[in-house]
Amino acid sequence: MCEINELLRNGLTIEETHLSVKLKAFICNIPARSYLKCVKGHMSFDDCKRCQGEKHDNMTVFLDNNCTKCTDIKFCNFIDINHHTRVSALIYVELHINMISHFVIDPMHLFDKGVMKRLLRKRLLSFWIYWIY
């Protein structure tokens, strides 16, 4: 953390050009996001902290659009102890990183992968291909 704090504070000088460094977002897939944030993986019920789902027939579903959303304050205070695996080093970055909004949601793991898996499981893929063509 010392290196990132120093870069954020002082910037970086390459030859005679001084560059300031800012963190805008972390763009990573869900396994990498879980690793960086030190939270449970995407196969866990307690994985997503933007909203909370319910278990139905061995699936996590999100029935309510007005679900309780996690905030950065709740995340950093470990309000949901089932979500965390340990303390993330990113919490100690001096210029605060919002542990919720600075992590871009990965659509492949949230939507595409789950839909295809269910289509294959229910043998609806042939119907889907027929409908497309």
H-assigned helices in 1-133:
2-10, 30-37, 72-76, 107, 113-121, 125-132
pLDDT value at residue 24: 87
Number of folded domains that form the chain? 1
The answer to the question of residue 79 being in a domain is yes
Task: Quick: pLDDT tens for 92-124.
Answer: 888 888 888 888 877 665 566 566 666 666 665
Pairing, β 12-14 against β 17-19: antiparallel
The answer to the question of residue 130 being in a domain is no
pLDDT value at residue 92: 86
Coil/strand/helix, residue 14 = strand
Which structural domain, as residue segments, surrounds residue 17? 2-124
The answer to the question of residue 131 being in a domain is no
Length of the chain: 133
pTM of the model: 0.63
- In sequence order, what are the beta bridge partners of 59? 56
Task: Examine the pLDDT at 131 and tell me if it is beyond 80.
Answer: no
The answer to the question of residue 50 being in a domain is yes
The answer to the question of residue 27 being in a domain is yes
pLDDT value at residue 95: 83
Task: Quick: pLDDT tens for 2-49.
Answer: 898 999 999 999 999 999 998 888 988 878 888 999 988 766 665 555
Task: Examine the pLDDT at 61 and tell me if it is beyond 90.
Answer: no
